């Protein structure tokens, strides 16, 4: 897959300039996709698609020490390589910490491939017919006006080769689906294998039941601090998103993180002292699992926050060197990121704890918040008023507070939601109904 590009890089000359070191990462993908828009499957706005692609990323260290980074499409990785390398030289820059090329290393065995998904990617979408029928039946039974969705299956081969003698390759699959009812609430699945049929039907049933509550208005709660349950989708989008931003090596180095370099390895807690955040890319057949990064770093488990205390930022080779630490696992998907702490409580327990409060199903504005400080003011257009036995009906409002203070509260609970990898959170948060 990389042979022609390797030859081009190894022999390239432009006047006095040559490439002293290099690292290449290539991916070849075959993907089948199917969409549904406003209840119509495979129409012009959501067509059946079958695509093949080859792309490559490069790191070039020139003989004068400057560095080039970039990406190449199929043509540029073949006959167009000399012109692409000329352009890379023209864009070279000084960055000694980026001038790192991985050598040979042992790589873990991680199960990333499912033959059923590979067949689906090769043969089209006919096997999805029973699931499409199940969604249509759920839409009719629930009285929903319409639905939209997407389905995809892909098979890929990846390879990393470097001038230092590293050559590693692998193959993997990916499968995913997402369904939205009435354009209001959606759910889905992503992994390297198909979800089981019973898990699919259970997830679809939960989605339909929850979406039905959004059609029933409920009395607005009082404004102020309430017991609020954040759905796992909100935890992934805002809570984990904020934590991982502050743990990025680039953010730590550039002063854009709440945490300075000196706080990593300290015994000073930054969250409640029973909360742990870790990454495990060695989990089999998860969307975020892998054997090696695009830089050729072997996958390994990594604890970022251990019982409230910072252990390491998320580090690629560049920022590992700058911060004087080892490179770490990179979070590739939420299903390999683990937020852990005290024993989780079940949903029905959370409803009793949050009687009179709200369940927040989604938020708007997560990416506009001050991630470094943790201060937030988020619109909650889809929330449910809670009673002791569960949801009562729909409310809307605004959530506000400080995430790090929320994650340090003594009354914080992790909530186990059926079918969800990430836990929900039960805490006291200001909610202003609108």
The string of DSSP letters for 362-390 reads EEE-GGGS-TTT-EEEEEEEEEEEEETTE
Domain end marker among 186, 210, 234:
210
pLDDT attached to residue 1: 66
Q: Are residues 188 and 83 in the same domain?
A: yes
Domain boundary among 163, 191, 210: 210
Residues 123, 228, single domain; the answer is: no
Total residues belonging to the chain: 434
Residues 231 and 358 in one domain: yes
307 and 384 in a single domain? The answer is: yes
Pairwise CA distance, residues 253 & 245, whole Å:
12
CB 241 within 8 A of CB 233: no
pLDDT of residue 394: 98
**Residue 53 belongs to what domain range?**
3-210
Cβ-defined contacts of 43-47 (< 8 Å, 24+): 46/148, 46/150
pTM of the model: 0.94
Within this chain, do residues 111 and 245 fall inside the same structural domain, yes or no? no
Q: Which mean pLDDT values do the consecutive 10-residue runs of the chain (434 residues) have? A: 89 94 97 94 87 94 97 85 94 96 97 96 85 96 96 97 97 98 96 97 98 96 96 98 98 97 95 96 98 97 98 98 96 98 94 97 95 97 96 97 96 96 98 96
Name the E strands within 38-88: 40-41, 49-62, 67-73
- 293 lies in the same domain as 159: no
Does residue 97 sit in the same domain as residue 144?
A: yes
Q: Are residue 231 and residue 360 in the same domain, yes or no?
A: yes
Domain boundary among 210, 226, 243: 210
pLDDT of residue 43: 85
Q: Which residues of 298-323 are buried (b: 16+ CB within 10 A; e: fewer)?
A: bbeebbbbeebbbbbbbbbbbbbbbb
291 and 243 belong to one structural domain? yes
How far is 53 from 55, CA to CA, in rounded Å?
7
* CATH code of 101's domain: 3.30.2290.10
358 shares its domain with 302: yes
Domain shared by 312 and 419, yes or no: yes
Strands 40-41 and 17-37: antiparallel
Q: Are residues 203 and 308 in the same domain?
A: no
Q: What's the number of domains the chain is made of? A: 2
Q: How many CA atoms lie within 13 A of 412 on its CB side?
A: 22
């Amino acid at each position: 897959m990389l042979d022609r590009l390797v030859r081009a890089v190894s022999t390239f000359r432009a006047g006095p300039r040559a490439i002293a070191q290099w690292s290449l990462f290539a991916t070849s993908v075959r993907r089948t996709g199917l969409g549904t828009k406003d209840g119509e499957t495979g129409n012009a706005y959501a067509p059946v698609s079958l695509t093949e692609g080859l792309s490559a990323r490069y790191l070039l260290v020139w003989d004068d020490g400057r560095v080039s980074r970039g990406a190449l499409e199929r043509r540029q990785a073949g006959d167009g390589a000399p012109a692409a390398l000329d352009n890379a030289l023209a864009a070279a820059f000084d960055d000694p910490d980026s001038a790192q090329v991985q050598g040979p290393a042992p790589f873990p065995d991680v199960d990333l491939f499912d033959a059923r998904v590979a067949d689906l990617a090769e043969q089209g979408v006919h096997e999805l017919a029973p699931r499409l029928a199940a969604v249509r039946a759920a839409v009719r039974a629930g009285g929903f006006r319409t639905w939209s969705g997407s389905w995809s299956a892909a098979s890929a081969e990846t390879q990393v080769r470097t001038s230092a003698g590293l050559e590693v390759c692998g193959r993997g699959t990916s499968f995913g689906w997402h369904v939205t009812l009435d354009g209001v609430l959606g759910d889905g699945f992503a992994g390297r294998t198909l979800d089981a049929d019973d898990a699919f039907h259970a997830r679809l049933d939960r989605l339909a039941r929850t979406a039905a509550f959004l059609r029933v208005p409920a009395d607005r709660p009082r404004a102020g601090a309430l017991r609020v349950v954040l759905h796992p989708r909100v935890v992934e989008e805002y809570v984990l998103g904020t934590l991982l931003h502050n743990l990025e090596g680039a953010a730590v180095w550039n002063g854009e993180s709440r945490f300075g370099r000196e706080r990593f390895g300290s015994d000073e807690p930054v969250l409640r002292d029973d909360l742990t955040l870790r990454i495990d890319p060695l989990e089999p057949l998860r969307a975020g699992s892998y054997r090696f990064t695009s830089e050729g770093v072997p996958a390994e488990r990594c604890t970022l926050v251990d019982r409230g205390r910072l252990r390491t930022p998320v580090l690629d080779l560049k920022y590992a060197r700058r911060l004087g630490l080892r490179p770490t696992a990179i979070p590739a998907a939420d299903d390999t990121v683990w937020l852990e702490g005290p024993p989780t409580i079940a949903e029905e327990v959370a409803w009793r704890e949050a009687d009179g409060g709200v369940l927040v199903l989604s938020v708007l504005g997560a990416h506009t918040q001050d991630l470094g400080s943790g201060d937030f003011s988020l619109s909650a257009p889809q929330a449910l008023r809670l009673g002791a036995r569960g949801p009562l009906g729909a409310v809307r409002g605004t959530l506000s507070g400080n995430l790090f203070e929320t994650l340090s509260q003594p009354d914080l609970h992790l909530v186990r939601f059926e079918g969800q990898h990430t836990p929900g959170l039960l805490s006291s948060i200001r909610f202003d109904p609108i």
